[in-house]
Structure 1
Amino acid sequence: MNKFMMFFVWITICSLIFPATFEAHADLNSSMPANGAVLSSAPTEVELSFSTMIDGQLYKMDVLNDKGESIVIGKPSINLSRDKLIVSVLQSESGLVTVPYSVISKDGHPIEGSISFTVELSEQTVAAMVVADKPTSIENNQPQMISASTNESLQKPMGMNEEQDTSEQSTSVLSSFIKSAYLLSLLLLAGTLLWNSQGFKIPFTVHMQLIHLGLLILFTWSQARNFSRVFEDVPWQDLFLRTEVGQFWTAALVIAVLGLYLLDRNRYLDVAWVGAILLVKSLNSHAIATATPSLTVGLNFIHLLFAALWLAGLFYTLILWKKGLAHTFIPTFSKMALLSIIVLTISGSIYAWLLAPKLSALWTTEWGYWMIAKLVVVSGIFVVGALIRLHIKKNASLQDARFLYFDASLAISIVIIVGVLTQLSPALN
C-alpha cells in the first residue's frame, strides 16, 4: 500500500511540474491583421488562426466596416489543417474594421468572438480610391453550412447586454447540471453491466437504461440548443448529421436506444455495449483535440471505465447494506475500489497534464480552480478509503454505514465537478 501511495504522489508531482502545452478549445491564436492593429493601407484579406482544429462543416466569419456593412468578397475558406479561416475583403475606407467569427472546436464546443483593427489611409490613397470608385456587387455571402452568415446574426454576440450575459451564465450552469446528471447515469449503467457480467446481480438495470436514455436526450438537446444560439440559421438535421460533434450525439443516441433491446441478454454483448458507449463519450470530449488523440482518448476511456466500476460497486454495496448482505460483497468491492481509485488518480493526473497549457493554469483559470477542487475531493476519497480499510481490519467487517454514504457523497461531488470541467477550457486567461 505504501508503494502504491508513493507511486501516486510521484505521478501527481510529475504531472503538475511538467505540464504539456495544449489547449482543448479552439481559442483564437492570432490574426492577420493583428487585433488592435493600425494600418496605413487596407488589407485584401483577413485571416484567423486557431489553437486547435475546428469543424470544417460549420463556421461563420464576416468583416464589417465602421458603418456595420459587410465588406467581404465571396465566402470564407478553411485551410487543409482546419485551423485557419481566410476571407477576401473589399478595399475599405479609413475607420474601424470588425471581424466577428463563430466556430466549433475539435472537442465539440461552440466558440465565438471578434477582433478589430483600424485603417488610416493617407490623403493620396483616399483620392485614388475616389477616382477609382465604382459600384461593386457582393455575391455569395448568404448563410449556409460552409459560408459566412448574415451580418445581423454575427453582430449579436458583440452587442450583448447584461441581461443576455446573465442568461448565458444561467444556461451554462444548467448545461453543467444536466451534463453531471447524464454522466452519473452513464457511469452507473455501464458499471452495473460490468459487475453483472461477472455474476453479480445489481437490480434496476432497466430503470437505469431508461433514466440514462432520458438524460442523454436532455443533455443532447441542451447542447444542440446552445449551438443553435450561435448558428441560428443552421437546421438541426445538419447539426446532427454533418458536424463531427453532432455525429457523436447521434451515435450515442443510437447506441442507447439499441441497448433497450440488446442488454441483459448476453454478458459479452453487454460488455461490448459498454465499450461502445464509453468510446463515443471519450471521442466527444477534450481528449480528441490534443496533439496525441490516441493517448488522451485511451486515457479518458480507462478513466470512465474504472469510474463506472467504482460508482456502480458503491451503489450495489449500499443496496446490499440495507438488506443486511453487504458483508459478502464488501471484500470484493474493497479491492476493486482501491484499484479503481489508483487508476483514476494516475490516468486523471496524466490527462490533466496533457490538457493544461502551463502549471499556472491551475490558479489563473476557472478550469484550474475546478481541477483543484477535484484534487481535494480525490484526496478525501483516499482518506475515506484508508479509514474504511482500517475499520475493516480492526472489526473484521464494516459496521458503520456512514463511511459508505460519505464515500458516495464524494463520488457524486466528483461527477458534478467533472460536469463543470467539460464545459470549460484550460486555456490561460
Structure 2
Amino acid sequence: MALGVVAVLLSFAFDGHTVTEGTRLVTAIVAVVHVGAGAVWGGGLLMLVHVLWRRHRMAVPVRALQLAIRFSVVAATALVVAGVAGLVLSVIIIDSLSDLWSTPWGRLMLAKVGVVAAAGVAGAYNHSVLIPQMLAAPDDPDLSSVFRRAVTLEGVAMGAIVIITALLVASAS
C-alpha cells in the first residue's frame, strides 16, 4: 500500500505545472510536498469523520478527546506544509499578483485559499477551544457531539477544496 501511495504522489511530478512552469525539479518537489501534505490532512480528516460518526451510530464510546489531540497535531502540521508549498507553487505559476483577481484561474485560487483558511480557522477553534473543554470534561457526550459536528464541517470544507482544485487543474490545461 505504501508503494502505491508513493507512486501516486510521484505522478504529480510528471504532469501539470511541473512540466510547464518554473524549474522542473523544484516545481516537482514542491508539487509532491503540496499534494502529499494535503492528502495527509484530507485523508486524516475524512477518516476521523468516519470513525466519529460510526462510533456514534453504534453507540460505542467515542474517546473523542484522544482522537482530537492526536489528529490536531497532524492536521496542523500538514496544513502548514501544504499551505507553504501551495504558496510556493502559486508564486511559480502566476506571472503577476494581479493574475489572482484578473484571471479565472486566479479567482479559483483565491476561492481555494478562502476555503482552506476557513477550514484552518475551524481546526484552530477545535484545537484551542474544544480540546481544552474536552480535557476539562472528558466524558461529556455533548462536547463529543460538538466535536463530531465541527470535524464534519471541516470535512465538507475539504470536499469543497477538492472540487475547487479539480476546477483549477481543468482551467490550467
TM-score range for the pair, normalised by the shorter chain length: 0.7 to 0.9
1:294 and 1:422 map into 2 onto residues whose CA distance is: 20
1:370 and 1:411 map into 2 onto residues whose CA distance is: 15
Shift in Å, 1:349? 0.6
Shift in Å, 1:425? 3.4
Partners of 2:119 and 2:157 within 8 A in 1: yes
Residue of structure 1 equivalent to 2:133: 394
Counterparts of 1:20-419 in structure 2 under 5 Å?
A: 270-322=1-53, 323=55, 324-327=61-64, 328-389=66-127, 390-396=129-135, 399=144, 400=146, 401-419=148-166
Overall identity of the aligned pairs, in %: 25
Deviations 1:354-389 (A, max 9, x none): 000111101110001101101111110121011101
* Amino acid in the other structure paired with 1:421: L
1:371 and 1:337 map into 2 onto residues whose CA distance is: 21
Moved over 6 A (4+): none
RMSD: 1.7
Deviations 1:30-52 (A, max 9, x none): xxxxxxxxxxxxxxxxxxxxxxx
2:98 and 2:172 map into 1 onto residues whose CA distance is: 14
Partners of 1:306 and 1:344 within 8 A in 2: yes
Shift in Å, 1:344? 0.9
1:377 and 1:291 map into 2 onto residues whose CA distance is: 26
1:394 and 1:287 map into 2 onto residues whose CA distance is: 44
Give the SS at the match of 1:336.
helix
Deviations 1:298-325 (A, max 9, x none): 1111111111111221122122213143
1:408 and 1:341 map into 2 onto residues whose CA distance is: 14
* Amino acid in the other structure paired with 1:394: Q
Deviations 1:141-168 (A, max 9, x none): xxxxxxxxxxxxxxxxxxxxxxxxxxxx
Partners of 1:318 and 1:326 within 8 A in 2: no
Unaligned runs of 5+ residues in structure 1 are: 1-269
* Greater strand share, structure number: 1
Gap change, CA 1:326 and 1:301, over 3 Å in 2: farther
Residue of structure 1 equivalent to 2:58: none
* Amino acid in the other structure paired with 2:161: I
Give the SS at the match of 1:423.
helix
Give the SS at the match of 2:171.
coil
Give the SS at the match of 1:424.
helix
* TM-score normalized with structure 1 length: 0.35
* Residue 423 (1) aligns with residue 170 (2): yes
Deviations 1:77-129 (A, max 9, x none): xxxxxxxxxxxxxxxxxxxxxxxxxxxxxxxxxxxxxxxxxxxxxxxxxxxxx
Shift in Å, 1:326? 4.8
Partners of 1:320 and 1:326 within 8 A in 2: no
* TM-score normalized with structure 2 length: 0.84
Partners of 1:299 and 1:347 within 8 A in 2: yes
Partners of 2:22 and 2:93 within 8 A in 1: no
Partners of 2:22 and 2:92 within 8 A in 1: no
Unaligned runs of 5+ residues in structure 2 are: 56-60
Partners of 1:303 and 1:348 within 8 A in 2: yes
Partners of 1:384 and 1:407 within 8 A in 2: yes
Structure of larger gyration radius? 1
Count residues with an aligned counterpart: 157
* Greater helix share, structure number: 2
Gap change, CA 1:291 and 1:395, over 3 Å in 2: closer
